Amino acid sequence: MPATVPTFDSLSISPELRILIQEIGMATKVLTKADFTYFSDINLDRLKALASIHRIRPLLKAMLQREGISQLSPQSSQPTIKNIFRIRKNLTSILCFKEIALKLEEQQIPVMLLKGNLYIDLLYQNNQLRESGDLDILVPKEYVLEAVKILHELNFKIYFIPVHKEINEGQYDFSLEFERLKKKLNSPYFCEITLMRGSELVDLHWGFNQALYAFDYNPAGVFERSIEYNFHGLVTRIPCPEDLLLSMVLHHGGKEQWVSLRHIQDFLNIILKYQQEFDWDKLLKMAMKSNLLEPLLSGCKILDDLFGIKIPEVLSISNENQQFTVGLVALWDIDDQNNYQVMKKNIFGGFKGKKSILQKIKFFHFNYVNYQMSIYPAPLEVKKFSNYLISGLRNNIS
């Protein structure tokens, strides 16, 4: 049942963060009544900074318009311009996926839409309330080379930081990058590549996680378990609800450890849509086998702490207490992008203090960097690209 008021009053939360969390609940109808008794204490610039860091600016804009307070913004025209760009980006992603999917399906190459653009269409009642990123697609590993050739025919270029200068200077060599891709396919340190066409970025995945991470969710049969879905007039296939949830938990809760309110927004939406349909016994066993049980339980505990959403099958085995959410609130409340990124690095993977797992990640990281340096003739660029990983590990491994 929807809560009439927020359930996070016991948490120490700034007025600005409280507004954003409350709006996530209002947008999903988990909360039926907004509390603005503390609105006079809000710093609007800080509110906008938090919304930007957490990439939930559309929610803030909707709230300001609904409450008739958008005139408080000194740059009231900018959100409207940003809305136009966001709508255009969403439409571009839709057209891009349809173009790619049709070409791949002509050659009988299976393809599925993943992550943000799928969440927008499948989980959100209002498609404009979630910011989208790159276009993510999944192709079976054995079809990746054929798929990349087709994307090359559509004028996409294989993109990676060491290649960026070559692309800008018109020296891009597809045959060279294609040979490098073959090496990546034979490495455990890669499960995706990025392709670029102008401002369009496509992340082509052939798995869900790299050996770099301490998770093992690359389930066989994801295409066999997939379900048919009508995506803006294109009949395609998407992951079944269980695969959709666990792939989300892997990224949002495993890799990122719920550090963004946008991730909480996604997780809340998928739980609300499928909670009654999930086979929780099967799901929890899959999560345990994939080392994803902890991030799944943590995500469910956050929903309980913030919105009073209780999943009996999960709470019965969860050892999480409210201290987990309390710790995250401190990170969510950072309104400076640089400090936020530093904090985010220092809790890399959520494994702070777990030395054995961190050492495993560190081992894979150095192998990953060395493998990159064997492929690309720009070791300094590779080190720069990979530095964000090791910076957090240095602070956590003695």
Higher pLDDT: 45 or 145? It is: 145
Higher pLDDT: 236 or 347? It is: 236
pLDDT band at 141 (very low <50, low <70, confident <90, very high): very high
Mean pLDDT across 281-306: 88
pLDDT band at 161 (very low <50, low <70, confident <90, very high): low
Query: What's the CA angle centered on 328, arms 327 and 333, to 5 degrees?
Result: 110
Pairing of strands 227-231, 157-159: unpaired
pLDDT per position as a tens digit, 328-354? 888 888 877 655 555 555 544 444 334
What's the pLDDT score for residue 133? 76
* Percent over 90 (pLDDT), the chain: 26
Which of 146-160, 267-281, 306-320, 370-384 is the least confident region? Answer: 370-384
In this structure, how many other beta carbons lie within 10 angstroms of the beta carbon of residue 108?
8
What's the pLDDT score for residue 147? 97
Domain ranges of the chain: 351-398
Helix (H, G, I), strand (E, B) or coil at 85: helix
Dihedral sign computed on CA atoms, order 67, 68, 70, 71: negative
* Percent over 70 (pLDDT), the chain: 70
- Tokens 């809560």, residue? 3
Which of 101-110, 121-130, 359-368 is the least confident region? Answer: 359-368
What's the pLDDT score for residue 67? 73
pLDDT per position as a tens digit, 62-81? 887 777 765 444 444 455 55
Between the alpha carbon of residue 379 and those of residues 58, 191, 333, 387, the distances in Å are 39, 21, 36, 12
Q: Is the pTM of this model over 0.85?
A: no
pLDDT per position as a tens digit, 199-224? 889 999 998 877 666 778 877 789 99
φ and ψ at residue 241, rounded to 5 degrees: -55, -40
Could you give the CA distance from residue 360 to residue 390 in angstroms, rounded to a whole number?
12
Most confident of the ranges 10-24, 146-160, 247-261: 146-160
What's the pLDDT score for residue 70? 56
pLDDT per position as a tens digit, 120-140? 889 987 667 787 778 999 999
What's the pLDDT score for residue 110? 95
What's the pLDDT score for residue 244? 94
pLDDT per position as a tens digit, 179-200? 989 988 888 778 889 999 988 8
**135-152 core/surface letters (b: 16 or more CB in 10 A; e: else):** bbbbbeeebbeebbebbb
Q: Please choose, from the candidates 338, 339, 342, 330, the residue with its C-alpha nearest in 3D space to the C-alpha of residue 388.
A: 342
Could you give the CA distance from residue 318 to residue 296 in angstroms, rounded to a whole number?
10
pLDDT per position as a tens digit, 29-55? 888 877 777 777 788 888 888 998 898
